[in-house]
Amino acid sequence: MHSFSRLLTFFRKHWILMGGIIGIILLRFLLLVITPPGFYLDEAAGGAHVIALLQHGTNAHGEAWPLFSASLGGGYTTPIYLYPLAAWAAIFGASEYALRAFSLFATILTAALIGYALRRWFDNKTALIGVVVALTLPWGWIQGSVAWDPALVPLFIAGALASFSIAMKTAHSRRRIAAITVVGIVLILLAYLYPPCRVTAPLLLVTFYSILFWQKKLSMTYTLLVIPFFLVLCIPLLQFMLQPEALERSRQLSILYNTSVGEAILRGILNFSSMLSPQFLFITGDSNLRHATGIQGMLGLAALPPLIALAVAAIHFLKKRPRYAQLLRNQEIFLVLILLLGIVFSLLGSALTTEGQPHSLRATAAWPFYALFIAIGWRQLLTSSPNYIKYTSLTLAVIATTYYIVDLATLYPQRSASSFDASIRQDIESGTVNQNYPSLSIDYYKNK
């Protein structure tokens, strides 16, 4: 009874944010019927593997319970995506909507974990703000609504962040050890999930463990015990990565392919900087309409007020010429520095490739870090700014988000139809098979 009373008090205190979160979740599931339009060939290929697994216990190529399943363009459907999706499809079916709903469900869980992580560092209000930001951030909206492996990347990032936050904040040693172990396991699974994260995951693991060790939350004895366990978990992935087909795929996408080291370094720097440009973050975003809508960039105009508030706060703080120890004692600054490192590491996996730059999908691990970053900005703005700035900022954020959603529901489906094979899908379902369409993708429509 006491727990129910506390829950009721929580809802009464934060009813606007809670109502907004519930409304956004319902809206996202409703919009999934119309946007994104069509069903892209990569989605259909993954769906073919799912159906084959449910019907025969094999992937679409007849391989029994595979680790990696060959897909399109030299890529692979990974086990971290395939098997949970198959379990989902066993309950909800393998329709286009059901497969995409799995990605959306993962995105909602990501938002919940982001809120949980913020709750460990701050308070309930900041946590709920983080959930709202995560659910409305343009970077995660389209990419978290498509039936493909990268949709799960933010979930694993958020899981690692939540576990790291527990390890940093809990006073219970057993809970801390469990959380530290989960951080490592989640990041190893992330490396299995999506190739660009094979750069991001180890960098995050080293960073998180170094911070925990430095803060005396992690002992050297435990580290030496757990490293062999982590290495054993990585063996199947390393064996796969050393196969000729996987090596060739990585080689062709690398910035080192057919170029000198100097040119590769320059290209990597340009790729990285392009993902930090205002145009990419706030105006057009990724030019590929399967990755973004083409308006308000990857973070959205709603992110500008909190980011400006953070920048102003940072300038005022640095004017005081704080000592190094002061910087690290301030938990907001401490967490912001960790998030900035996370953003850098998340962008690196994309920056080291050549195709379609700036490529936001390969950097999708970045948006949970951005979501926490923006939520901290809102915390700063709402606690330290005059009322007129607060209300103006909130009004602008609501207008920008509303405009984004209206465009997403009305104009985006039309301009992105060809990017999601909408007309080809209609032809296939009416019995007209396009000979240039991959047979693996056609298998989905034949067997669903």
Band (pLDDT 50/70/90 cuts) for residue 237 is very high
Q: How far apart are CA 143 and CA 100, in angstroms?
A: 10
Position 6 scores a pLDDT of 65
In 220-254, which positions are buried (b, 16+ CB within 10 angstroms) versus exposed (e)?
Answer: eebeeebeeeeeeebeebeeebeeeebeebbeebe
Are 343 and 154 in contact by the 8 Å Cβ rule? The answer is: no
Position 360 scores a pLDDT of 97
Q: For the packed helices 366-384 and 331-351, what is the interaxial angle rounded to 10 degrees? A: 150
Q: How far apart are CA 405 and CA 153, in angstroms?
A: 23
Nearest Cα neighbor of 59 from 27, 81, 34 is 81
Position 93 scores a pLDDT of 97
H or E element: which one contains 186? helix 173-193
Position 314 scores a pLDDT of 87
Look up residue 45 and give its two tokens: 């290929």
In 13-44, which positions are buried (b, 16+ CB within 10 angstroms) versus exposed (e)?
Answer: ebeebbebbeebbeebbebbeebbbbbbbbbb
Band (pLDDT 50/70/90 cuts) for residue 324 is low
Q: Based on the number of CB atoms within 10 Å of its own CB, is 161 exposed (0-12), middle (13-18) or buried (19 or more)?
A: buried
* Cβ-proximal residues to 7 (8 Å cutoff; 6+ apart), any chain: none
Number of other residues whose CB lies within 10 A of the CB of residue 332: 16
Position 258 scores a pLDDT of 86
Q: How far apart are CA 110 and CA 150, in angstroms?
A: 13
Band (pLDDT 50/70/90 cuts) for residue 21 is very high
Share of the chain above pLDDT 90, in %: 83
Q: How far apart are CA 77 and CA 66, in angstroms?
A: 10
Q: How far apart are CA 420 and CA 411, in angstroms?
A: 14
Of 86-90, 156-160, 250-254, 361-365, the least confident = 250-254
Position 3 scores a pLDDT of 62
* Cβ-proximal residues to 408 (8 Å cutoff; 6+ apart), any chain: 31, 35, 141, 293
Tell me: pLDDT of 389 over 90.
Answer: yes
Q: Structure pTM?
A: 0.95
Are 138 and 294 in contact by the 8 Å Cβ rule? The answer is: no
H or E element: which one contains 416? none
Query: Taking phi first (over 0 means left), then psi (-120 to 50 degrees means alpha), and beta for anything else, what does residue 438 get?
Result: beta
Q: How far apart are CA 261 and CA 275, in angstroms?
A: 21
Band (pLDDT 50/70/90 cuts) for residue 1 is low
Q: 């939520």: which residue's tokens?
A: 375
Q: Report whether the peptide linkage leading into residue 36 is cis, meaning its omega lies within 30 degrees of zero.
A: yes
Position 397 scores a pLDDT of 97
Tell me: pLDDT of 329 over 80.
Answer: no
* Mean pLDDT value across residues 250-274: 92
The string of pLDDT tens digits covering residues 121-135 is: 999 999 999 999 999
Look up residue 358 and give its two tokens: 């700036």
Domain ranges of the chain: 39-94+429-448, 95-282+290-416
Q: 């090596």: which residue's tokens?
A: 247
* Mean pLDDT value across residues 296-319: 93
HSE at residue 100, side-chain half, CA atoms within 13 A, is 25
Position 356 scores a pLDDT of 85
Q: How far apart are CA 345 and CA 206, in angstroms?
A: 11
Are 43 and 99 in contact by the 8 Å Cβ rule? The answer is: yes
In 59-78, which positions are buried (b, 16+ CB within 10 angstroms) versus exposed (e)?
Answer: bbeeeeebebbbbbeebbbb
Q: How far apart are CA 92 and CA 448, in angstroms?
A: 13
Q: Which amino acid is at 441?
A: S
Q: Where are the alpha helices (DSSP H) in 93-152?
A: 96-121, 124-136, 138-143
Average pLDDT, the chain: 93
Q: How far apart are CA 420 and CA 397, in angstroms?
A: 29
Position 435 scores a pLDDT of 75
The string of pLDDT tens digits covering residues 372-387 is: 999 999 999 999 889 9
The string of pLDDT tens digits covering residues 408-432 is: 999 999 999 999 999 888 888 887 8
Tell me: pLDDT of 434 over 80.
Answer: no
Helix then strand then coil, in percent of the chain rounded to 5, is 75, 0, 25
Position 321 scores a pLDDT of 72
Share of the chain above pLDDT 70, in %: 96
Q: Which amino acid is at 331?
A: Q
